[in-house]
Each structure stands twice: as structure tokens, then as C-alpha cells.
Amino acid sequence: MLVVVGLNQKGATVADREVLALPAEEWPSVLAGFGDLGGVEEVAVVSTCYRVEIYAATRCPTAATLALRQALHARAGRELPLFELHGEEAFRHLVRVASSLESAVLGEPQIQGQVKSSFQRAAEVGTAGKELASVLSKALAAAKRVRTETSVGRAGVSWGRAAVTLAEKVLGPLAGRRALVIGAGEMARLSAQHLRDEKASVVVLNRTLEKAEALAAEVGGSARTLDALDEELAAADVVVSAAPVALPSFEPAAMAKLLRARRRRLVLVDLAVPRAIPAESGKVPDVYLCDVDDLDRVMKAALAERAAAAEEAGAIVEEEVRKYARAEAERRAAPIIQEIRSRAADIAREEVERTVHRLGGDPELARRLDAMAGSIVSKILHAPSARLRQAACEGCDGEPLVRAAELIFGLTGAPERVRGNEAA
């Protein structure tokens, strides 16, 4: 069964989320730790600015989710507002995440790639295998349908657009304004593109000058290393921090000194999780600090405008969840039905052989009796097979019937399944 445990912007603040955020260098060890937990067969982590969610394949959902909860609380060093989902509910959530329906900015284009790369990273580390690969394939196919069959993707608003919207609320039109973009990754690129589109003068600052120059060339701006940050802050109107690096220049005392010297408004947009700019810096007069949770509030109007597209997308998601549930039910029921039919066919074959032997071993008689026995077996087991498939679709409600069938027919997996459910 697929399960998910984690938190996101719907139920957790940025302060909650940043204590679980995974730096790139920690991915292998953290994934390996989750993979070693009791009940966890395969595991992948989706960690973005808005969410840290652990997806696991497990034979014992209760044990796996309990172990994951304990591990996340231990990592944070405190209790967190975690959620958990099982089975088709977990799959529905993954599809909605990959489709950007769970994003603070509906239609934002980055999340599908982030989900895909997160599962691929788990596969490279060795904590995700064929079960999660199958789940990911189905989820991405569903997300592709949402993108191609609705206007969610076409009407999407990226983080970069949202950052520009925040700046415009404070400063008005950005044409001719000087904008700093710190970082050279995807979020920095999107922010720089939207700032360019608003005719702002863009300066890209990054530790590696070559990367800053590449992005600056793309948006028609200039590039410098982070050593020039203090100088650029003195002239900037907007600063978009898209790198999770805490810099001394953004400390409250440094900000207060800067604003006394420049005496005009400065908009700081912190897109990093963990946050790169201290919250206290936003209390300095004429400093307007926005973080990723502010994006959610700013874009409520955009979400309302896209309600129709979201409703269409939701219908597609539900259709894909039903397909997933049917496939999973068939997969759970198939071994049981196959073993019952195999047992019955073996018994019928033995009786046919015994009867033919007593009657002289006529090949034609053997053929006719074998066909008749096979037909009887199929007809007798048709209704039980259909009911077992339905019971598997019913999940926990149908589990007693599935277990009863295993016990009644004396199937080899019955003791293990009973023990597994008792353990769960």
C-alpha cells in the first residue's frame, strides 16, 4: 500500500516546514534512514518550499506511518502538524501535488519536475524500487492529463510572477526599478524573467560568477558575485533571495544601517526554505519583507479566477484515482483468485485422470471429461472470484472476506496475511 506522511503549507507554517527541509547533501543519508524504518519497503521524499512529504510503499501501513511520524518529529526536535494518508487517498494527494492543484499558486510549472526528480533521486539512492516507480508513472500520467486537458497549466502563475506581484503592491510599476536576484537556480531564473518582463533593471548575484553571468545574459541584465551584495543593496529597490543562504547583510542591524543611509523603501522577497532573511529584518522601517507564506495570501485572488479550471482538473484526478484503485484491487485479488482456481483445476484434473484410467484410458473420453471439468470449475468459481475482486476494491471493509477466503481454501499466504494484519 502507498502511504504519505508529512506537512505542507495548508496545515503548517514556514517555521514548521523549514525544520524538515532537506539540503542536497543530506538526501542520501536521510532517505537511507527512512528506508530502514520498520514497515517501510520503499520510500521517497518530496521536499520543496511548500512541503516535506514522505511517500512509502508498505505491507503494514500502521507500522510504517507510525515510524515515519516518529522519525520526522525526531528530526524536528518537536511535535509537528503532520498529516498521513493511505492507499488511494495517498495516490490522490500525489496526483494533485504533481498537477499543482495543491500548490499555493495553482498551475505553477515547477512542481511536476520536482516530484519526478525527488522519486528519481530515491531510486538512485536505492530506497525506491518498482512499486514507487509504478506509482510515479501513474501520477505523472494523470498530471499530464490535467495540464493538457484543462487550462490549469496555461493559466499558471509561477513563483517569479508572484514575487513580482508582491513587489508591485509596495512600489507600484517596476519599470526602471533596480532589482537584485540572489541565486541562479530555477526560482531565480523565473523571478529574473518576470522582473525583466516588467522592465526592471536586473542584477544577478551568485557565488559562482559564471552561473550568474549565464542567467544575466538570458534576461538582459548584469552579473556580479555575492561579494558585491552590500554595494548593490544600497541601490536596489527589490531583492529576490532565491538561495537558501543566510547572509550577514540581511541581519536586522545591517538592514537598519542600510535604510538609514538610503532613506527609501526596499522590498525583500525571501523564496528560500529555510528562510535566508530573518523575520526581524522585516520590522526595520521602510523594509517590506515577504516569505513563501505571503505568496499564498497574495495569490488568493488568482486562485479564485482559476476555480473553473481546478474543478475540471479535479474531475480528471478522480477518474485517475478510480483507475488506480481498480488496478490495485485487481493486483491484490489476482494471486488469491489464481491460487483458488489453480487448486480447483488440479483437483478436477486428478479426478478426470482417475476416471479415465478406470474406464480404459480412452484419449477422446479424457479430452471431453477434461473440458467438462474445466467448465464446471470456471462456473463454480466465477461468482466467488468476482466477489473477491469487489472485496479487494473495498479496502479495509472487504479485508475480512479476503482473509476468510484464504483460510477457507487453505491458501499458503493465509497465515502471513493474518499475522500482517494483526501487526498492523
Mean pLDDT of all residues in 107-118 = 86
Taking Cα atoms as reference points, which of 203, 161, 199 lies closest to residue 179?
A: 203
Q: Check whether 48 has a pLDDT greater than 60.
A: yes
- Edge to edge, what strands does the sheet with 83-86 contain? 42-47, 51-57, 2-8, 83-86
Please state the domain extents for the chain: 2-149, 159-299, 324-423
Which tens digit of pLDDT belongs to each residue from 146-162? 988 887 765 545 667 77
The answer to whether 24 touches 116, Cβ cutoff 8 Å, is no
Q: Check whether 364 has a pLDDT greater than 80.
A: yes
The answer to whether 249 touches 227, Cβ cutoff 8 Å, is no
DSSP state of 86: E
pLDDT band for position 200 (50/70/90)? very high
- Grid cell listed for 2: 502507498
Torsional sign, CA 146, 147, 149, 154: positive
Mean pLDDT of all residues in 380-408 = 69
Which tens digit of pLDDT belongs to each residue from 240-290? 998 888 899 999 999 999 999 887 899 999 988 788 899 999 999 999 998
- Of residues 358 and 277, the one with the higher pLDDT is 277
The span from the CA of 325 to the CA of 337, in Å, is 18
Q: Check whether 77 has a pLDDT greater than 90.
A: yes
**In this predicted structure, what is the pLDDT of residue 422?**
37
Show which residues are catalytic. 49
Mean pLDDT of all residues in 199-214 = 94
Mean pLDDT of all residues in 215-231 = 94
The pLDDT > 70 percentage for the chain reads 88
Helix%, strand%, coil% for the chain, nearest 5? 60, 10, 25
- Grid cell listed for 319: 477518474
Q: Check whether 421 has a pLDDT greater than 70.
A: no
Task: Please state the CATH superfamily assignment of the domain spanning residues 2-149 in this structure.
Answer: Glutamyl-tRNA reductase, N-terminal domain (3.30.460.30)
DSSP state of 225: E
- Grid cell listed for 45: 521524499
**In this predicted structure, what is the pLDDT of residue 280?**
94
Architecture of domain 159-299 in this structure: 3-Layer(aba) Sandwich (3.40)
Q: Phi and psi dihedrals of 247, rounded to 5?
A: -110, 140
